[in-house]
Structure 1
Amino acid sequence: MRIPGVISFLVASLCLAGCTSTAGVDALDLQKPSNETTSSVIRPPAPITAAPKAMARSAPSDEMAPMADDAPAENTRPFGLAEEETVAFPAPELPDSAEPPVEPAALVSPPRLLSRAAPPMLAGPVTHYGFRDAKPINFGKASPRHLAVHGVDVSRWQGNVNWDKLRAQGANFAYIKATDGGDHLDPMFTRNWRNADAAGLKRGAYHFFYWCRTAGEQADWFIRNVPKVDGALPPVIDVEWNGESSCKRRPSREKVLEKMQVFMDKLERHYGQRPIIYTAPDFYRDNLRGEFLDYPFWLRAVARHPSKVYPDRKWLFWQYSGSGLSHGVTGRIDLNVFHGDERQWRAWAGGRISIADAD
């Protein structure tokens, strides 16, 4: 009788030791996979190339050229596209190792159906440059005026836009702010989205990325609010350091790239278009140099040609001014240009070719 009792005691002791050991392992702060994971999206084997080689007016510099003393700084304003980030419900400060909590469902607005899907729309007649600039820059032979297709980007800060006047003055396309973070919708997005299309501009939507929200919920918020419409330009992710933001986190380069990839993969699967990356010089220097070679880039460079500010980076759009003037808006507006001629614009905007095929 005693022997079976001893055996039972030994078995129980071994089980208890095993449970204690397992709990100890789980308690260790081991490196765990990120919560921000996504199914991979098939990517082209070759990097994106600029549309027209002949249009590149100045050769890329081997290093960043010093800025002239009298030239405006590349980042004189804290934001590029968004002008100001307004996230209605900022997430609390958290260490980089923790993911911010998901906001309650009550903060999420219902889906918005802005327009029905339409047949693919080819780009209309190109309206040539007619803008003025409050702070004109002499780009010399590399002037954006040498490129054929100009456009604008807008948010609520432009107020009520007269899209017909913008179109007549030289805006062939418009990128319209839709969302930032995981709960903010630009209050002018619906009106701008509809009216830009009615005036004959090619339109696209952009999202201002907020570093205190997960990439997945930001992608879901954008998809929830921006309709999937044939003929629209590819969606844009606007990535910048924003010193005025309620979010003070600056993730590591590795984390930035991971979050961007999650966001862009979700958008590409939903819209069937590769997102465009908009960025500014300081953020590019810290995170994007040499990265995402198979993605199109939209670069802010308001004092020098992009080849001087972003050496060796191919680009699709160039934001060359933040001080444009037009009869269509009160105040100033961002001016942009497409890296190609009219034929390449029509082919790319009509969806007949990718930018990699535009050479």
Structure 2
Amino acid sequence: MSLTRRLALLSLLALVACGAPGTNAPPAPEGVIFAPNFSDIHPVDFQGRAPQRFPVQGIDAARFQDSIDWNKARRNGVNFAFLKATEGGDLLDPAFKHHWRDAGRAGVERGAYHFYYFCTSPEDQARWFIRNVPRTPGMLPPVLDMEWNPFSPTCAHIRPPARDVRDQMRRWIKIVEAHFGQRPIIYTTPKFYEDNGLRSFRGYDFWLRSTAENVSEAYPGQSWKFWQYSATGIIPGIVGEVDLNVFNGSRADWTAWLAAHKR
């Protein structure tokens, strides 16, 4: 064999061993919790316990994250992912199906979320979510995403009284919980939380957005399971920016929570 061909063969073998550009990394062992290898374009100096100190981290993803090597992302600390499924009563995120499939194949703990609109009944929205999200063994609880929506051409101006908001949430949750056999997680923002008195929801796990201050400062006294602390994360295996999240607890707490909440 000529020296040139020998060098070419060695180069090819090296690429196969390391993962050639554009190919997926091999699946990681099931059940392993990976330490985060995350960076942030706009990092925040959070007061109190910084999110980087939480051992179990993950992301949420939608159509904006259109190129994810889930195996590689998992090995770099994406232990869980909340994936956008639906909006209102007739919008399906175009990336949901392949995110759902590929994250599952990579062993990422995954759940689906619904972005709520106030111009469609909670019953219609619950049925739309159920129609598009499969009851998959091992899935995380469904998520109800509650925030004011300034971008919708039809719903942006509709802001019901707080009592009506809470009633609509409970109606959506009742239907979805009955179908999936899991109590949904509530996602919200500081303003929506305060405007609508969501502290009155007891017995629910909260996923809270707070990208400018510590979650304990943004939601005084509120217990939480997940904290979305950045919208500008960078993770190997994901092209572009992505939301970063932490689980509130130790690795043992995470394992126990999964055992109690996965379907």
- Relative contact order, CA 8 A, sep 6+: which one is greater? 1
How many angstroms apart in 1 are the aligned matches of 2:251 and 2:103?
A: 20
TM-score by length of 1: 0.63
User: Structure 1 pair 202/208, CA: closer, same or farther in 2 (3 Å)?
Assistant: same
Aligned twin of 1:351: 260
Cα contact 2:109–2:140 (8 A) shared by 1: yes
- The alpha-carbon deviation at position 331 of structure 1 amounts to 1.4
CA-to-aligned-CA distance 1:31-71 (integer Å, 9 cap, x gap): xxxxxxxxxxxxxxxxxxxxxxxxxxxxxxxxxxxxxxxxx
Cα contact 2:57–2:245 (8 A) shared by 1: yes
- The alpha-carbon deviation at position 243 of structure 1 amounts to 1.1
SS at match of 1:161: coil
User: Structure 1 pair 347/228, CA: closer, same or farther in 2 (3 Å)?
Assistant: same
- The answer for unaligned runs of 5 or more in structure 1 is 1-122, 354-359
Q: Which amino acid aligns with 2:185?
A: I
The answer to whether the aligner puts 1:216 opposite 2:123 as a matched pair is: yes
Q: Which amino acid aligns with 1:272?
A: G
User: Structure 1 pair 259/352, CA: closer, same or farther in 2 (3 Å)?
Assistant: closer
| Greater fraction strand | 2
CA-to-aligned-CA distance 1:289-322 (integer Å, 9 cap, x gap): 4321211100001111111000110001000111
Aligned twin of 1:244: 151
Aligned twin of 2:26: none
- The answer for unaligned runs of 5 or more in structure 2 is 1-29
Percent pairwise identity? 47
1:196 aligned residue (85, 92, 103) = 103
SS at match of 1:324: strand
- The alpha-carbon deviation at position 251 of structure 1 amounts to 0.8
Q: Which amino acid aligns with 2:103?
A: A
Aligned twin of 2:180: 271
Aligned twin of 2:224: 315
Q: Which amino acid aligns with 2:126?
A: A
The answer to whether the aligner puts 1:133 opposite 2:48 as a matched pair is: no
1:226 aligned residue (109, 130, 133) = 133
How many angstroms apart in 2 are the aligned matches of 1:168 and 1:290?
A: 36
How many angstroms apart in 1 are the aligned matches of 2:104 and 2:235?
A: 18
CA-to-aligned-CA distance 1:162-196 (integer Å, 9 cap, x gap): 11121111100000000001111111111000100
Q: Which amino acid aligns with 2:81?
A: A
Runs of 4+ in 1 over 4 A off after TM superposition: none
Q: Which amino acid aligns with 2:115?
A: F
How many angstroms apart in 2 are the aligned matches of 1:126 and 1:342?
A: 8
Q: Which has the larger radius of gyration?
A: 1
Q: Which amino acid aligns with 1:325?
A: I
The answer to whether the aligner puts 1:262 opposite 2:148 as a matched pair is: no
SS at match of 1:243: coil
Residues matched between the structures, number: 231
- The alpha-carbon deviation at position 327 of structure 1 amounts to 2.2
RMSD: 1.3
The answer to whether the aligner puts 1:329 opposite 2:246 as a matched pair is: no
- The alpha-carbon deviation at position 332 of structure 1 amounts to 0.6
Cα contact 1:231–1:350 (8 A) shared by 2: no
Matches within 5 A, 1:55-134: 124-134=31-41
How many angstroms apart in 2 are the aligned matches of 1:160 and 1:131?
A: 17
How many angstroms apart in 1 are the aligned matches of 2:87 and 2:223?
A: 26
SS at match of 1:308: helix
